[in-house]
Amino acid sequence: MKFNIKYTIAALSVFMFTAGCDDKLDAIDVIGYTGVPVAIETVTSESLPGQIQLRWEVPAGDFSYLKIWYYDPLTKETVYKIVSKGTTELLIDETRARFGEYEFNFQTFNANDEGGEIKVVRALSGVAPASYTLVSRSQIKLVAEQLSTNAQEPSEGPIKNAVDGDKNTFFHTNWHEAIPYPQWIQVNLKEPHENFLVGYINRTDNSWTTSGRPSVVDLQISNNGIDWETVGTLDGLPSSAGSEYISTFFMPGKTFTYFRFSVTSATGSSSYWNIGEFMMYDAEVAIDDPETAPLD
């Protein structure tokens, strides 16, 4: 009984104090619009890669704020967004085309947190982009018989030097007469390849100049040696003697048996170019596709 009496007395004391002060408390004023909140009417959506862009028009009537909510099938949670009256757009991230239609609810509120009519909008996400990571590369063994060119210099730098394994020899295009670009090394791979990298080493024995280095290079593939498709372009290439360059990996989405390293311009506005070694690599690439990845 002693425990109960103690807490009963305390409770009565609080009650008496509060009751005695009631007549001194001022009413709390609500700031903002307290009428019936006007509903959002016009909402449009745009499908973006892994996103949904929502846009709406601010209605002519009044309200205090806008609540938007939707079910996210990726996180399996209902997501709530609160935006101010003047907001007219909202970008929804981390969406997926695989889930089909998303259902968005728009509801306006007044300053008393009293909601108006709910506007329901359905929208689709664009396909979320996949990411690609190079796992490993393996050099393709090339021999002179697989190479050809449209611009061989007759006095030096035979094309066989490009794959002889000696960076101190070099391949040189024609400097006796100006052959129009593109000037290329063509490779007959003799078997299908798909994802790849290329590399080369600049000529080593002419350190007195930076001219005559590949400056812009188109990478082209073919399956008959006649019809060619450009699948990548290299630029920003090194110009110092002996510099080694390895490209990023390329994923043409198809196999090919012929390849061209097609130089379209050289440093120093040269009408020719040269390299010490040329390399090609098969690329093993890991793909992370959010549209097909297993769900928890």
CB 56 within 8 A of CB 89: yes
C-alpha 71: how far from chain center: 25
Amino acid at position 154, single letter? P
Integer Cα distance of 147 and 209 in angstroms = 27
Supply φ then ψ for residue 228, to 5 degrees.
Answer: -120, 145
SS (H, E, C) 58-86: CCCCCCCEEEEEEEECCCCEEEEEEEECC
Longest dimension (CA), the chain: 116
pLDDT at site 29: 55
Pick the CATH number of 43-124 from 3.30.1330.60, 2.60.40.10, 3.40.50.2300, 3.40.50.150: 2.60.40.10
Instruction: Enumerate the CATH 2.60.120.260 domain ranges in the chain, comma separated.
Output: 134-287
CB 66 within 8 A of CB 33: no
Integer Cα distance of 182 and 189 in angstroms = 21
Tokens describing residue 88? 């007219």
Integer Cα distance of 246 and 128 in angstroms = 29
Q: Is 235 left (phi over 0), alpha (psi -120 to 50) or beta?
A: beta
- Could you tell me which of 192, 242, 247, 240 has the C-alpha nearest to residue 219? 247
Residue spans of the chain under pLDDT 50: 1-28
pLDDT at site 296: 83
pLDDT at site 15: 37
Instruction: Enumerate the CATH 2.60.40.10 domain ranges in the chain, comma separated.
Output: 43-124
183: Cβ–Cβ under 8 A, 6 or more apart, which residues? 149, 150, 151, 173, 262, 263, 272, 273
The separation between the first and the last C-alpha atoms of the chain, rounded to the nearest angstrom, is 56
**pLDDT 10s digits, 142-157:** 999 999 999 999 999 9
Kindly report the CATH class assigned to 134-287: mainly beta
